[in-house]
Amino acid sequence: MKRKIIIMLDSDILSRGLSSIIGNLPETEIICVAPPEELEQYAGITRSVIALVIRPEQLARYTSFVHRLGQTNTVQVITFGLPGADRTKGQSITLDMDGESIRQLILKVLNVDKNEIEPPPSMQLSERETEVLRLVARGYANKEIAARLFISVHTVISHRKNITEKLGIKSISGLTVYAILNKLIDTSGQNPETLI
Amino acid sequence: MKHFKPTTRMSDIIHTNYLLLPVINRFGVRLGFGDKTVEEVCREKKLNAGFFLAILNAYHDPDYFPEKELQGFSTHLIIDYLKKTHDYYREYVIPKVESDLENLMGDCQGNCRNLRLIRSFYDKYKVELLNHLNEEDTRVFPYMTDLQRVYDKEIPMADKVRNFSIRNFEEEHTDIDNKLFDLKNIIIKYLEPQYVDNMCNAFLYAIFQLEQDLIDHARIEDKILVPKIMLIEKAVKS
Ligand SMILES: [Fe+2]
Ligand SMILES: [Fe+2]
């Protein structure tokens, strides 16, 4: 997961000021969108945690776009306003805040997903997963694998999901290559290349 | 990230990101542009400068993807660009990846069995990719062009246009992207390095670059062209 801060403010002084206060955060990119440039142009962002800094009165205009971005990203809206502005709803930055509190707020917001984005602790395949992988590599369909291992198709699917996550290999032929490389399947007496 | 503007010099664009070289070539723009700006070069070559810039910027900055603006360009313009990209894959990228792979195999040290597995995997992938490009060039794009022409009242509605639907054109892109990713990852993480490092690096560079190009290409198809065609289908066929 990458991190992005989108600052959508109509004043150059404000957006530049805010980005210099936020400064450099590890693996975080700051994007300043100044009208008339449109927020919608950033439809390309995926798999990121996004902090969107925006004036509350502008928010309504972009609801559907924020929702769309939210399908492939985690989006956190931070409203920007005058001191004493309505702070009841969600997170906000106001003109009277000092730099450190702003930084802290941004850090907090961007780390929201910390637990989710960290990789699972064990990347080792379990015995059952190895069993499933062997059968996948030998070309068995989920139904057949379920029947052979006396488990439900649903369980097979969840094992396969874990295998893919742990190994970082998504395709069946990729998994087959992995299984052969690691000698998980017996290829004696045949050309292993024909299995791929 | 800074985006290029009509007044940006072409030479500055290439100094900023040399990976854009094949992209400008697809538009027929070649090096030796002196101090000419985007505007000037486009005027000379009779190119749509807005489209040229949107494509360059989207390639340069993956976050930047002005969907509405891109959907506003003509179907013919978009398809023409995509077809040129296909040609580039077929005529240059795939042969290049292949010769890098040949070099890698040729210099294999010790047991070459594992590298041969990689090659089989690549061969299968290649067939799939070529079929996909071919399907688009011979069926999908011609259909889209005809549909657009029906919409523009340049040609009458015909059965082959009426009976085809863009929905038949299943999403194969994810699968193609996944395989390329797997290929990289297997080499990076799991293949015992019984090869000359520089040969393997060259092969990986080529794969990384193809992957980036394909992702950019597929999102123009999925997010720009297909939605655009769906709207036209709705207007023409209902
Ligand atoms: Fe294509
Ligand atoms: Fe495609």
How confident is residue A35, by pLDDT bands cut at 50, 70 and 90?
Answer: confident
Q: Is residue B5 part of a domain?
A: no
Give how many domains chain B has, as a whole number.
2
Task: Answer yes or no: do B217 and B141 share one domain.
Answer: yes
Q: CB–CB of A173/A143 below 8 Å?
A: no
Which parts of chain B sit beneath pLDDT 70? 168-171
Q: What span, in angstroms and rounded, lies between the C-alpha atoms of B99 and B61?
A: 29
DSSP letter (8 states) at residue A31:
E
Strand-strand pairing, A74-81 and A48-54: parallel
Task: Answer yes or no: do B27 and B127 share one domain.
Answer: no
| Residues of B in Cβ contact (< 8 Å) with A193 | 116-117, 119-120
Identify the weakest region by mean pLDDT among A21-30, A76-85, A140-149, B165-174. B165-174
Mark which of B19, B44, B64 sits at the end of a domain: B64
Shortest Cα–Cα distance, A171 to chain B (Å): 6
Q: What span, in angstroms and rounded, lies between the C-alpha atoms of A40 and A44?
A: 9
B189 touches chain A (CB under 8 A): yes
Please tell me the number of the ligand nearest to residue B83's CA: 1
How confident is residue A87, by pLDDT bands cut at 50, 70 and 90?
Answer: low
Interchain pair A40, B67: CB under 8 A: yes
Structure confidence at residue A116 (pLDDT): 47
Q: CB–CB of B185/A175 below 8 Å?
A: no
- Residue whose C-alpha is closest to residue B224's, from B71, B39, B28, B37: B71
B142 touches chain A (CB under 8 A): no
Residue to mutate among A69, A166, A171, A182, with most B CBs inside 10 A, is: A171
- CA B137 – ligand 1 centroid, Å: 8
How many Cα atoms occupy the beta-carbon half-sphere of A112 within 13 Å?
17
Q: Is residue B222 part of a domain?
A: yes
- Does residue B183 or residue A84 have the better pLDDT? B183
How confident is residue A117, by pLDDT bands cut at 50, 70 and 90?
Answer: very low
Structure confidence at residue A85 (pLDDT): 60
- Does residue A21 or residue B36 have the better pLDDT? B36
Task: Answer yes or no: do B83 and B200 share one domain.
Answer: yes
For residue B65, give the nearest of A29, A43, A167 by CB distance: A43
- CA B70 – ligand 1 centroid, Å: 16
Q: CB–CB of B55/B77 below 8 Å?
A: no
Shortest Cα–Cα distance, B95 to chain A (Å): 22
Task: Answer yes or no: do B44 and B125 share one domain.
Answer: no
Task: Answer yes or no: do B91 and B156 share one domain.
Answer: yes
- CA B167 – ligand 1 centroid, Å: 16
Q: Is residue B2 part of a domain?
A: no
- Residue whose C-alpha is closest to residue B175's, from B204, B214, B144, B207: B214
Residue A161 has pLDDT above 70, yes or no: yes
- CA B221 – ligand 1 centroid, Å: 7
B62 touches chain A (CB under 8 A): yes
Residue A113 has pLDDT above 60, yes or no: no
Which residue type does A41 have?
A: Q
Q: Is residue B224 part of a domain?
A: yes
Residue to mutate among A3, A4, A41, A194, with most B CBs inside 10 A, is: A41
- Ordered DSSP codes for B110-166: S--HHHHHHHHHHHHHHHHHHHHHHHIIIIIHHHHHHHHHHHTTSS---HHHHH--G
What angle (nearest 5°) sits at the alpha carbon of residue B214, between those of residues B6 and A7?
A: 50
> What is the pTM assigned to this prediction?
0.82
Task: Answer yes or no: do B57 and B80 share one domain.
Answer: no
Give the domains, in start order, of chain A with CATH numbers: 2-116 (3.40.50.2300), 127-195 (1.10.10.10)
Domain, as residue range, for B54: 10-64
